[in-house]
Amino acid sequence: MSKIDVAIIGASGYTGGELIRLLYKHPKADVTTITSRKQEGQHVSSLHPHLEDVDLTFTNPENKDIDADLVFLAVPHGASMKIAPDFIENDKKVIDLSGDFRFQSIETYEKWYGIKHEHPELEAVFGLPEINREQIKEAQLIANPGCFPTGAILSSLPLVENQLVDRIILDSKSGVSGAGVKANPTTHYPTCSDNIKPYAITSHRHTPEIREQLHNFGTHDTKISFTPHLVPVIRGIITTNHSYLIKDGVTADDVYSLYKDYYNDEPFVKVLHDNNVPLLASVRGTNYCEIGGISLDDEDQLVVISAIDNLTKGASGQAIQNMNIMMGYDETSGLDHLGLYP
């Protein structure tokens, strides 16, 4: 198959820049359009200085005039639902990086995002390849998962599918880039440097996304709690999964073996050798989710650690993984590079 032409709508943010970086050397895709209303006419390096050698300029065309085989929507929540139909109606494949199409329940989306959904008739596939690979192959519209849910779900799936636990408490810590490119008081350097800040302690929008996907496995009775924290790093999410075993006689070694078998054929999930503890520095710039540090205390509380880069496996890298699956390419195309440790 010849190369496809790709458009990135809203390419001025971190996820847009990461899409361009990763697609620049992709063997099967050419980025032909990057859009930004404010940056129209400016070279891509005006916002993304690491892309100096990329021959792209921000434009602001009408959606109907965008000539591409596949479109990435890297625009805010609430904006994607307004423009996705323009591309769907023109038979383009669409991968949306916002939260607008992630929920099976429109009522859940409207409750947690506080936005009336304008196109509930559009059917999207939740784009976590480890659970929906076959559906992604046939989809026209993909809802790329949130960054927190990616690490949280992957750290939990073997447990809920095998009904080993009845409660999961997810403690996640994210780098500042997860808040996006636009500055605000929370991400101001004096606020976030040398500091750790819990936020949206029981009300983060990614909570129902995690619950909805995990409840598709095992039973709906598993209680799931999630609290995010902002930490003074640029990239990465590390999630500590505290779960309560309900089956007797299960050891930490048993759980480790379960994870090794469960993810044995997944190209972007690494269950670490010797049950080593995942590090943010190991996954920086990669599309990998690392899992390890699997431990069990004397009260049958299980701990599982996962680490991802929020901008790659948590966003743009996963979007390209979905593109590869949709287009019938090797799933690892353009994504199989290793991390940047230290």
The answer to whether residues 57 and 86 belong to one domain is yes
Q: Is there a cis peptide before residue 267, judged by omega within 30 degrees of 0?
A: no
The answer to whether residues 221 and 198 belong to one domain is yes
The answer to whether residues 56 and 69 belong to one domain is yes
**Catalytic residue, candidates 29, 44, 147, 308:** 147
CATH number of residue 103's parent domain:
3.40.50.720
Local confidence band at 1 (pLDDT 50, 70, 90 cut-offs): low
The answer to whether residues 105 and 128 belong to one domain is yes
Q: What is the pLDDT of residue 21?
A: 98
How many Å is the Cα radius of gyration of the chain?
Answer: 20
The answer to whether residues 135 and 259 belong to one domain is no
Domains contained in the chain, number: 2
CATH number of residue 171's parent domain:
3.30.360.10
Q: Is 258 inside any structural domain? A: yes
Beta bridge partners, 142, equal 95, 125
Answer yes or no: is pLDDT of 312 > 60: yes
Q: What is the pLDDT of residue 342?
A: 86
Cα torsion angle, 6, 11, 16, 17, sign: positive
Local confidence band at 43 (pLDDT 50, 70, 90 cut-offs): very high
Task: Supply 147's token pair.
Answer: 């960054």
Answer yes or no: is pLDDT of 325 > 80: yes
Task: Give the integer Cα–Cα distance in Å for 220 and 204.
Answer: 20
Q: What is the pLDDT of residue 183?
A: 83
Read off the pLDDT of residues 124-153 as tens digits, 9 standing for 90 and up: 999 999 999 999 999 999 999 999 999 999
Answer yes or no: is pLDDT of 323 > 80: yes
The answer to whether residues 67 and 81 belong to one domain is yes
Local confidence band at 220 (pLDDT 50, 70, 90 cut-offs): confident
* Residue 265 one-letter amino acid: D
What rounded mean pLDDT belongs to the chain?
Answer: 96
Neighbouring C-beta atoms of residue 117, cutoff 10 Å: 17
User: Is 147 considered catalytic here?
Assistant: yes
Task: Tell me the average pLDDT across 42-58.
Answer: 97
Answer yes or no: is pLDDT of 219 > 80: no
Domain limits at 122? 4-144+315-327
DSSP count for the chain of H helices, then E strands: 10, 14
Q: Is 339 inside any structural domain? A: no
Read off the pLDDT of residues 249-300 as tens digits, 9 standing for 90 and up: 999 999 999 999 999 999 999 999 999 999 999 999 999 999 999 999 999 9
Answer yes or no: is pLDDT of 233 > 70: yes
Answer yes or no: is pLDDT of 179 > 80: yes
Task: Give the integer Cα–Cα distance in Å for 47 and 310.
Answer: 19
What b/e sequence results for 324-334 when a residue is b if at least 16 CB atoms lie within 10 Å of its CB, and e otherwise? bbbbebebebb
Task: Tell me the average pLDDT across 166-189.
Answer: 94
Q: Is 332 inside any structural domain? A: no
The answer to whether residues 36 and 84 belong to one domain is yes
Q: What is the pLDDT of residue 123?
A: 95
Predicted TM-score (pTM) of the model is 0.97
